[in-house]
Amino acid sequence: MKSSEGGLPVRGVRLGAVRAPVYENKDRDDLLLMAFDEGSVGACVTTANQFCAAPVHLLRAHLASTPHVRYWLLNAGNANAGTGESGMDACRQTIASLAALTGTSSDTVWPFSTGVIGEPLPVRAICDAIPKAYDICDSSVAAWERASRAIMTTDTHPKLRHIQCEIGGQTVTLTGMAKGSGMIHPNMATMFGLIASDVAMTAECLQTLLGHAVNHSFNCVTVDGDTSTNDACAIVATQMAGHETICDPASPEAQIFASALSVLADDLAEMLARDGEGATKFVRVICEAASSDQDAHAIANTVALSPLVKTALAASDPNWGRIVAAVGRAPISQIAIDRVNVWINDVQIVENGGRHPKYTEQAGQAAMNPVDIDIRISMGVGSGYCRVMTCDLTKEYVRINAEYRT
């Protein structure tokens, strides 16, 4: 099962993107409204950053109040984080404006913001633009494409994919988009993962399946080690696919959907890593044969996050000592060094804790030259496994973030 590039219309979903403006000096769409038919339910995983933004607080409250969702309201260019009670009031005003326009309850509106932290949200501009976004909402492929661009910040390109599966003799569609290229690190990062499906499923089942998919995709991506204040992966199920409602996450029908969801989330997460700010390489750090999946994640994440490893990748330098040094400082209780083996792509560089006897610098250089690189680490002590996606760390990353507000 594979996802495909671009969006597909999803029954019960309409989208409208406009310029509010939130970005005062950019001529681009920066406000997105997604509308869902009555009966739709949602699930969401939000940032682990304790200094989370106003929209995250309100999104969590709305999700706790009711599983039903009618609208997602998203803006780019302003995070509405670090704004205190005035930021909460600003977010409530935008929600109330949409609820009044559409005659829906405020707790069926989910807010999302991304952009600069600490700046007041331009409430009036957003509220004035909401009717314009509502009026142009439609379900077309073009609407999905425009929406995927409206949520971008430092992204170099939109991230939009779709996948279909068959449940109960009916075709179920999932279309997802993501944004993010910096301040990306588990748990949840500067990213939106926004997925819509016409699957018929309870909110509880949807939440369980989303949590699993996120843990193996968006929570296995790191660009720079900074976990954002804002971000979320959300999914809506419009109940319109025509099959019987799925209630049990362990059922065969749920597992079919879970497989499609996991593939879509994984492919979107890979797009985030490939579009890391200033990135020239896409890297998978794979840890296997660890004592547990948790240890494998700790090891892979430590290597993927290491500035020394990432700068060596940027230079295509096979400085493998940086890899084993990162393995050694991973936050796990014990490492059996004499069982550790390491490969860069197909070239084994470490055998039983030491330099492989047939390793050459020329072979290491050849392994480091490609754009796509796999660093595979076998710990030799168990069956624990994890794969973390990352990118290199370049001078361009420094420039982008030094000039972010200018």
Q: How far apart are the first and last CA of the chain?
A: 43
Pseudo-torsion of CA 286, 291, 294, 300, nearest 10°?
-30
Helix axes 321-328, 307-314, angle to 10 degrees: 160
Examine the residue annotation and report whether 190 is marked as an active-site residue of this protein.
yes
Spatial separation of the C-alpha atoms in residues 13 and 238, rounded to whole Å: 8
Measured distance CA(227)–CA(47) in Å, rounded: 8
> For residue 250, what are the contacts with CB-CB under 8 A and spacing of at least 6?
none
> What whole-number distance in Å separates Cα of residue 92 and Cα of residue 88?
6
Phi, psi of 379 (to 5 degrees): -90, -20
Which residues are registered as beta bridge partners of 293? Answer: none
Residue in 175, 190, 302, 390 annotated catalytic: 190
Strand 347-351: give its sheet, edge to edge.
354-355, 347-351, 341-344, 372-378, 282-290, 384-391
Half-sphere exposure of residue 326: CA atoms within 13 angstroms, side-chain side: 26
Say which residue the tokens 């996948």 belong to: 163
Rounded to an integer, what distance in angstroms lies between the CA atom of residue 406 and that of residue 401?
Answer: 10
Tokens of 304: 């993927």
**Which residue's entry shows tokens 């050849």?**
366
What residues are labeled active site? Answer: 190
